[in-house]
Structure 1
Amino acid sequence: MPSEGHHLVQDLLDQLDLEALEQRLFRGSSRDLGGKSVFGGQVAGQAMVAATRTVDPAFLAHSMHGYFLRPGDMGAAIVYEVDNIRDGRSFATRRVQAIQHGRPIFSMLASFHVEESGYTHQMSMPDVAGPEELASHDELRHAWVDALDRVPESLREAVGREVAIDMRPVRPWNMLDPDKREAEQHVWLRAKAPLPDDQALHRAVLTYASDFNLLATSLFPHGVSFFSPGMQMASIDHALWFHREFAVDDWLLYSMDSPGAQDARGLARGLIFNRAGELVASVVQEGLIRQREQPR
């Protein structure tokens, strides 16, 4: 009998399997992860799938740059419109607009590249405990249940919501009772069940997963979280670069930091390594971290 993890992963794959409406026009559905609007990683992952389906399979995505323009409505379908900007001999470029209720909610440029040989260097992977030694986010949430009464009632469902990605923080951070710490964290992640052997799909799933935990890093020095009273958080933009092939159903280390925050915006960066210590992707995001009212 398939496990709950298999069901969650299959549901994610179903979300990413967009319906083709016309040439370069696709439709996707949303899942409620307990927030007030569509999870940004879902929109970015679906936009990546839409762009990929219009490109020759010899080309793989190597970067994406996206802007979150409006909150997504979880009760409505999202239409993805793809513009063919360029098809070259070694690079291809696509622009994707995610549309709801006649207005764009997300806009992305994605670049694709054929495989080439070239110079290689990278930063070293941090020396941290392995995932087998660590508790998952799902397990940690059960341990935090005694702090649930501090969370606004409208967000309590989000605390217990499980997702298709197994995430294991090296140094757990209790988002229901946050402490102040340096603006850095390391989280192991992988899909909770095996995925098809399709590199383009693995890149779409990592696009989805790369939006988890990242912006929260910019809150660490301030001892607040998404669940703190009056806190308003939202991704503003998201950039992702893929450096080599990888398997997102095997453990990847997401090493994140936040160089600074100002004007109600936080900047966060991430490097993603495989178990062999190879750098597979890099991420940068700026997001809204607005305190609308002071905690009592």
Structure 2
Amino acid sequence: MTEAARIAATAGISVEAPRAADGVPHGQPVLDRLVALLDLEKIEEDIFRGVSPKQSSLRVFGGQVAGQALVAAGRTVPPERGVHSLHAYFIRPGDPSVPIVYEVDRIRDGRSFTTRRVVAVQHGKPIFALSASFQLVEAGVEHAEEMPVVPAPEDLPTQGELVTEELKAKFANITTRPRPIDVRYVTEPAWVSRETGPRDARNQVWMRADGKLPDDPLLHVCVLAYASDMTLLDSILARHGVYWGTDNVLGASLDHAMWFHRPFRADEWVLYDCASPSASGGRGLATGRFFTQDGTLVATVVQEGLLRILD
């Protein structure tokens, strides 16, 4: 894909895109824009360039830069080696109006493992740093935690069905963006009900890419990395009965780690079971587990976020 085509693909949503119950574009055309967003341009050996969608907010979505950085790393690794972990730091807010340059450092190519480091750069400064490890498929011991008992995604309302006109006006920065990821809330989101007050430090959603993805395993991992930055920190806010946009909460992702345990498809339903074990010092820690519909644990996430309650 040329740079011009890539920018065009992420610049807007075509009129053919279906609309959710609240009028927001979704479905295959919107998912295709996400795939284009992750299709980085190679500008030099181990140097790639990515862009942000026209609908971006004041800063680049953390899941986007994480997904793009993982694509950059994966493009330098033999396809038979799948990513099994990533560790990343969000250093500066990303500027959605200019491209992001991803510089890949080939740390190690071993017999079984490959290690890459990626730095995302804008305006001559790093905004994000990621280390990722890839491994040849091996046999070994097997065990996994069981999936919580929750309603099936087909029995839950879509995000568009939850958004009233009042909520759409109040949370315009969240509720009006095109949705490449179909999210079904198991635990009622705080932006729907403000009367419940503090709850358990837990948030559960079903999610999947809203359409059909190509069969490239790296792409499915990168789409899940993109989606993993959605709803995770909500588990912290739920414990304190506050939410972005309605309370004076300042938040941002600080670091992010993922471990990929088993194969999966990001265009099939996965349960994202998130919880927060601790919050202190203006920061909150959240953990997440991804399960397929048959109960298989496929990935684990840990993220620390900046959370300040302003006066």
Note if contact 1:176-1:225 (Cα within 8 Å) is conserved in structure 2: no
TM-score by length of 1: 0.93
Match in the other structure for 1:172: 188
Cα separation, partners in 2 of 1:181 and 1:252, compared to 1, 3 Å = same
Matches within 5 A, 1:127-206: 127-141=149-163, 143=164, 145-147=165-167, 151=170, 156-175=172-191, 177-178=193-194, 179-206=197-224
- CA shift digits 1:212-248 (9 cap, x unpaired): 0001110111111111242111000000010011011
Please, which of 41, 52, 55 is the counterpart of residue 74 of structure 2? 52
Match in the other structure for 2:305: 287
Q: CA deviation at 1:281?
A: 0.2
Please, which of 215, 222, 239 is the counterpart of residue 233 of structure 2? 215
Match in the other structure for 1:17: 39
Matches within 5 A, 1:1-296: 3=18, 4-31=26-53, 35-141=57-163, 143=164, 145-147=165-167, 151=170, 156-175=172-191, 177-178=193-194, 179-293=197-311
In the alignment, the residues of structure 1 paired with residue 52 and residue 17 of structure 2 have an alpha-carbon distance, to the nearest angstrom, of 23
Provide the secondary structure at the position in 2 that maps to 1:109.
Answer: strand
In the alignment, the residues of structure 1 paired with residue 98 and residue 248 of structure 2 have an alpha-carbon distance, to the nearest angstrom, of 27
Kindly tell me the number of residue pairs found equivalent between the two proteins. 287
**Letter paired with 1:173:** P
Provide the secondary structure at the position in 2 that maps to 1:108.
Answer: strand
Note if contact 2:209-2:266 (Cα within 8 Å) is conserved in structure 1: yes
Match in the other structure for 2:11: none
Q: CA deviation at 1:176?
A: 5.9
Q: CA deviation at 1:147?
A: 4.4
Note if contact 1:148-1:176 (Cα within 8 Å) is conserved in structure 2: no
**Letter paired with 2:70:** M
Note if contact 1:188-1:252 (Cα within 8 Å) is conserved in structure 2: yes
In the alignment, the residues of structure 1 paired with residue 161 and residue 114 of structure 2 have an alpha-carbon distance, to the nearest angstrom, of 42
After superposition, the CA RMSD in angstroms is: 1.5
Structure 1 unaligned spans of 5+: none
Provide the secondary structure at the position in 2 that maps to 1:273.
Answer: strand
**Letter paired with 2:290:** I
Q: CA deviation at 1:50?
A: 0.1
Q: CA deviation at 1:115?
A: 0.3
In the alignment, the residues of structure 1 paired with residue 226 and residue 31 of structure 2 have an alpha-carbon distance, to the nearest angstrom, of 12
Provide the secondary structure at the position in 2 that maps to 1:158.
Answer: helix
- CA shift digits 1:170-189 (9 cap, x unpaired): 12213265332101121100
Note if contact 2:201-2:275 (Cα within 8 Å) is conserved in structure 1: yes
Match in the other structure for 2:13: none
TM-score by length of 2: 0.89
Cα separation, partners in 2 of 1:105 and 1:209, compared to 1, 3 Å = same
Note if contact 1:27-1:79 (Cα within 8 Å) is conserved in structure 2: yes
**Letter paired with 1:172:** E
In the alignment, the residues of structure 2 paired with residue 47 and residue 147 of structure 1 have an alpha-carbon distance, to the nearest angstrom, of 33
In the alignment, the residues of structure 1 paired with residue 54 and residue 93 of structure 2 have an alpha-carbon distance, to the nearest angstrom, of 13
Q: CA deviation at 1:146?
A: 2.2
Q: CA deviation at 1:65?
A: 0.3
List, as ranges, runs of 4+ consecutive aligned residues in structure 1 with deviation greater than 6 Å. none
Cα separation, partners in 2 of 1:162 and 1:180, compared to 1, 3 Å = farther
Provide the secondary structure at the position in 2 that maps to 1:228.
Answer: coil
Structure 2 unaligned spans of 5+: 1-15, 19-25
